[in-house]
Chain A
């Protein structure tokens, strides 16, 4: 059974059809790529999956259950978590405080236990922070634990955002242009990191503009243009698909951000 399946999902903004009957399905353990020119509707697809937008038509199926129109905060509880194209961290707060925010759903303490400082609360906090420490060690962020995130370089902020997402212990990690704004070195590190995350048993769904990176990273690709799926297949197939080449890869003015 597919982990995540979109069936004919359509999203309109007024007269503009941002996503037109889009369907694709992500299998467990895959690294799945969505590519397409700017404005093709890729981020809209992600916003629909995470319920920031509600699609007008179609269904989003998670492990066989329809999750269309659920409240955004319930999506993370299901095991779907995302990062954002323009990094949305809690800038004034430290790296560790940012990552511990991802523990919100998993941590079982109630609000009054915190106010009363009960033993269960203390144990729960200890478990949360230890998980955060584990993630910071995994992402090599220990030395920034107390640094406010808005004073960190872009590449490290990306890692913190991925760390925050990992803290929720997701089954599906959705990355919205994770390599945007990174230099070559940082991109290489990111590719390795994504492979490691996949090896942890987390399915990865990503949007990316960097074609070299996508082709070496993903198992399967869906190509979108003007909100419609124009092709899908393995990286080799996509690279040689005339429709894709015409729409996207072959154009000389390929975006370089």
Chain B
């Protein structure tokens, strides 16, 4: 067996055992790790694969979370009814807001996405349409469904873990497919891509939309975990954290993103005693990793071909 396969099996085994061997605090951290990994993987589709500087991804994460809370609290719907909305709403919003900006160059796109993030948080804080609850957000999400209390730490953990597994599966499939390769081509050379018939605009919007759908679903589970949502969880700093996770971990690299989430989220949790120094650790980690490994901790590997391409007939 290959080393990476063994590493994945060990990782999944450890993740599956965590809730049985640790206390509630660690289960909560592990749950958030799963959710944040999923969001980071979704940011990576846009930033790492399609190569667009998206520093407003918390918008889509927040849309999924708020959609869940609003449907449950204001419209008194069963929590599970929110799944489709938490996936589709961010995906559609992503298509609408990314279409006009995808042809902006690197840093200009970054500024535009930051702008979207600020507008989004201001809308939440101003109690948009009387639904978002202002500065305090929305409390009292009723997470009872199918006779279970989904906000039980153990159940939330396994939901988040399942979501992580599903996301990894989708991304692995994406990597091997025409659409996933097209994102890389568009990132490396848009003019050459167009010349061989790749519609760069479509694939850029596609990457935003797919990333938003996955982030929205992560937001759904995030709402169940805390049975509440508040604007501060989806502000600009959250987007920066996901952006940093991708850069520190390694663009377009699954092990990189998982390692990045661990360093940028779990390690600061361990040092929670030094609350004020949290961003200090965050900053040092970024500087050290960028100096030592500018391509990320685990850079993406290319040249993985199906066996039948190169083997002798």
* CB proximity of A247 to chain B, nearest CB, Å: 30
Q: Which segment, of A4-12, A121-129, A236-244, A248-256, faces chain B? A: A121-129
Interface residues of A in 35-85 (CB under 8 A from B): 50, 52, 71-77, 81-82, 84
Task: Contacts A77-B197, A96-B309, A148-B302 given; indicate if A52 touches B179 (C-beta within 8 A).
Answer: no
Given A52-B191, A114-B180, A133-B309; A73-B303 close (CB under 8 Å): no
Contact mask B297-311 → A, CB, 8 Å, 1/0?
A: 000001101101110
Interchain CB contact under 8 A, B185 and A101 = yes
Q: What is the distance, in angstroms, from A186's C-beta to the closest C-beta of chain B?
A: 22
A164 in contact (CB, < 8 A) = yes
Q: Which chain A residues lie closer than 8 Å to B193 at the CB level? A: 73, 101
Chain A residues with CB under 8 Å of B76's CB are: none
Categorize the interface residue count of chain A.
Answer: 35 or more
**For the complex, what is the distance from the CA of A132 to the CA of B306, rounded to whole Å?**
12
Chain A positions within 8 Å of B182 at CB level: 101, 104
Residue in A closest to B192 when the chains form the complex, CB atoms = A88
* Main SS at interface, chain B: helix
Given contacts A109-B177, A114-B176, contact A146 B305 (CB under 8 A): yes
Contact B206 A111 (CB under 8 A): yes
A73–B194 Cα distance when bound, in Å, is: 4
Chain B contacts for A82, CB-based, 8 A:
195
Q: Is the CB of B181 within 8 A of A148?
A: no
Which residue in chain A gives the minimum CB-CB distance to B194? A72
Interface of A is mostly: helix
Chain B residues near A89 (CB, 8 Å)? 189, 192
A107 at the interface (CB under 8 A from B): yes
- Is B198's beta carbon under 8 Å from chain A? yes
- B177's contact among A72, A114, A164, by CB below 8 Å, is which? A114
B147 to chain A, nearest CB (A): 31
Contacts of B303 in A (CB 8 A): 93-94, 96-97, 146-148
Residues of chain A contacted by B179 (CB below 8 angstroms): 111, 114-115
Looking across the interface, which residue of chain B has its beta carbon closest to that of A87?
B192
User: Which B-chain residue is minimally distant from A98 (CB atoms)?
Assistant: B185
Residues of B within 8 A of A146 (CB): 303, 305, 310
Across-interface contacts of B178 in A (CB, < 8 A) = 103-104, 107, 109, 111, 114, 124-125, 128
Does A91 touch B at the CB level, under 8 Å?
yes
Known: A73-B199, A96-B305. A114 touches B173 (CB 8 A): yes
Contact partner, A72, options B195, B206, B308, Cβ 8 Å: B195
Question: Does A142 touch B at the CB level, under 8 Å?
Answer: yes
List residues of chain B with CB within 8 A of the CB of A216: none
Q: List 24 A-B contacts (CB under 8 A).
A: A50-B195, A52-B194, A52-B195, A72-B191, A76-B194, A77-B197, A81-B197, A82-B195, A84-B191, A84-B192, A88-B192, A89-B192, A94-B303, A101-B181, A101-B182, A104-B178, A104-B196, A109-B178, A113-B177, A125-B177, A133-B310, A145-B305, A146-B305, A168-B197
- A residues sitting closer than 8 Å to B (CB atoms) are 50, 52, 71-77, 81-82, 84, 88-94, 96-97, 100-105, 107, 109, 111, 113-117, 121, 124-126, 128-130, 132-133, 142, 145-148, 164-165, 167-168
Q: Which 7 A-B pairs have the closest CB atoms?
A: A114-B177, A76-B197, A94-B303, A105-B197, A88-B192, A111-B179, A72-B194
